[in-house]
Amino acid sequence: MTADLAELRRRAAELLPSLAEGAAERERIRELPHKQIRALAAAGLFTFRIPAEHGGAGATVEEVFAFLIDLAAADSNIAQAVRPSFGRVEHLLSASEEERARWYPRFLAGDVFGNAGWELGGPSGAVRTRISADGKVDGSKYYSTGALYADWIGLAAVGDDGERVYFTLPSDREGLELVDDFDGIGQRLTASGTTRLTAVTVHPSEIAKRAHGAGRSPVTPFLQLYLAAVEAGIARNALEDAVAFARDRARPIEHSSAGRSVDDPYVQHAVGEIAARAYAAEAAVLRAASAIDRAWAGDLDPDLLTTAAVEVAQAQFFAAESALKAGELLFDVGGGSAVARSHNLDRHWRNARTVANHNPRAWKAAVVGAHRLNGTEPPLNGLF
């Protein structure tokens, strides 16, 4: 399923309206978007960044993020759920030729990838799932983003030597159980619940070869900027709902000077502020994406990677703040009817709040401030 960038954009323009249709109702009644995610994969829309010589579009980071904002504006749950698929492609760009030859064809065939790396309990980021010398895995994961939709799931466990082992398994592997128990206030359809592993067999060929060294990776800022893109999409979606509600449902308050809500200056101000925040959030994400592109173009120079990490942190801070404020301001365009559960307008704030809690934005600002003031390097972990 090969396609160039123009073809992928055409397919996206054709598919995204159908994903947006019914998104609010799917979330309200908790209808998992299996069909919609399969349609994304079948359209080849995970292949933006796969190089052209491997059958993909060879898109830039900025080009794929323009699509991801559109996707999040259509349905932020779907955008979040497929983050592991886009992250896997980005990882493969600097992986071995053997890994690329193995996994690129799976994306081109329409496969979906999930993730089950994080665990509850213990220090943040700790892995207690064990893999024995004979390749048997036992443990439990949570925040298994997209796993319920996936053909393949990326996991991590600790070996007898205390080192982490990363591997990818088919989602139907015996002993691997996916549980639909995610209970977040937002992003309820991301399938980010529990993955249980009971004497699961991992074959040697399924274990990833990890690159040595503790240098900064371009994949980390990509995955962090992905969260900001979801926030930017939420802000745009809140704007669309604000405009529609003011035009079609809202009534001016009794003492308003306007005969229609769309003519009320306070409603106009609220919609204008939402629009400005959504616009600025998108611009920030795309500018940070171009910093990642510059790092790739500069042979992943450490200074360029640090700059990308800092720019992404700045974009994350602002995108999260903008989406949260947009979700709040949306209620200023309507009266009491705006809070009806049937409209599900609160989903924008709930979804933005849930995404923002992945990596608290106060830390993003503090790390940026330390870098600007003292030249302090951002942490070398999965958050920067």
Query: pLDDT by residue (tens digit) across 261-274?
Result: 888 899 999 999 99
Token pair 């962090």 is found at 224
Report the pLDDT value the prediction gives residue 214, as an integer from 0 to 100: 66
- Say yes or no to pLDDT of 255 above 90: no
Query: pLDDT by residue (tens digit) across 72-111?
Result: 999 999 999 999 999 999 999 999 999 999 999 999 999 9
Report the pLDDT value the prediction gives residue 209, as an integer from 0 to 100: 77
Considering the domain 5-111, what is its CATH architecture? Answer: Orthogonal Bundle (1.10)
Mean pLDDT of 362-376: 97
| CA 282/CA 322 separation, integer angstroms | 10
Mean pLDDT of 180-187: 95
Which tokens sit at 75?
């349905």
Report the pLDDT value the prediction gives residue 218, as an integer from 0 to 100: 97
Judge whether 12 and 20 are in contact, CB under 8 Å: no
DSSP letter at 212? P
Helix (H, G, I), strand (E, B) or coil at 4: coil
Query: pLDDT by residue (tens digit) across 225-240?
Result: 999 999 999 999 999 9
| CA 171/CA 174 separation, integer angstroms | 9
Provide the residue count of the chain.
384
| CA 332/CA 323 separation, integer angstroms | 15
Report the pLDDT value the prediction gives residue 212, as an integer from 0 to 100: 54
Report the pLDDT value the prediction gives residue 291, as an integer from 0 to 100: 98
Which tokens sit at 143?
């925040």
Q: How many alpha carbons fall within 13 Å on the CB side of residue 377?
A: 10
How far is Cα of residue 166 from the mean position of the Cα atoms in its chain? Answer: 21
Quote the pTM value. Answer: 0.96
Query: pLDDT by residue (tens digit) across 280-333?
Result: 999 999 999 999 999 999 999 999 999 999 999 999 999 999 999 999 999 999
**Nearest CA among 18, 66, 16 for reference residue 293:** 66
| C-alpha dist (Å) from residue 30 to 98, 161, 180, 182, 314 | 40, 42, 11, 11, 33
Report the pLDDT value the prediction gives residue 251, as an integer from 0 to 100: 76
DSSP string, 220-252: HHHHHHHHHHHHHHHHHHHHHHHHHHHHHT---
Query: Who contacts 374 (Cβ-Cβ below 8 Å, separation ≥6)?
Result: none
Phi/psi for 176 (5° steps) reads -100, 120
pLDDT category at 382 given cuts 50, 70, 90 is confident
User: Amino acid letter at 140?
Assistant: S
**Nearest CA among 161, 155, 172 for reference residue 208:** 155
Q: Across all residues in the chain, what is the average pLDDT?
A: 95
Report the pLDDT value the prediction gives residue 211, as an integer from 0 to 100: 61
Query: Who contacts 4 (Cβ-Cβ below 8 Å, separation ≥6)?
Result: 52, 57
pLDDT category at 213 given cuts 50, 70, 90 is low
Sorted by where each begins, the domain ranges of the chain are 5-111, 116-206, 219-374
Helix (H, G, I), strand (E, B) or coil at 108: helix
- Say yes or no to pLDDT of 362 above 80: yes
Token pair 């993955």 is found at 195
Give the residue with greater pLDDT, 215 vs 222. 222
Query: pLDDT by residue (tens digit) across 43-77?
Result: 999 999 999 999 999 999 999 999 999 999 999 99
| CA 103/CA 87 separation, integer angstroms | 13
pLDDT category at 125 given cuts 50, 70, 90 is confident
Q: Is 219-374 a CATH 3.40.640.10 domain?
A: no
Query: pLDDT by residue (tens digit) across 9-45?
Result: 999 999 999 999 999 999 999 999 999 999 999 999 9
Judge whether 190 and 182 are in contact, CB under 8 Å: yes
Mean pLDDT of 357-379: 95
- Say yes or no to pLDDT of 252 above 80: no
Judge whether 358 and 306 are in contact, CB under 8 Å: no
Report the pLDDT value the prediction gives residue 256, as an integer from 0 to 100: 74
Percent of the chain whose pLDDT exceeds 90: 87
Q: Which CATH number fits domain 116-206: 3.30.429.10, 2.40.110.10, 3.30.70.260, 3.40.640.10?
A: 2.40.110.10
User: Amino acid letter at 178?
Assistant: L
**C-alpha dihedral over 39, 44, 46, 50, to 10 degrees?**
170
| C-alpha dist (Å) from residue 130 to 116, 119, 157, 169 | 14, 12, 5, 15
Radius of gyration of the chain (CA): 21
Judge whether 298 and 291 are in contact, CB under 8 Å: no
| CA 27/CA 23 separation, integer angstroms | 6
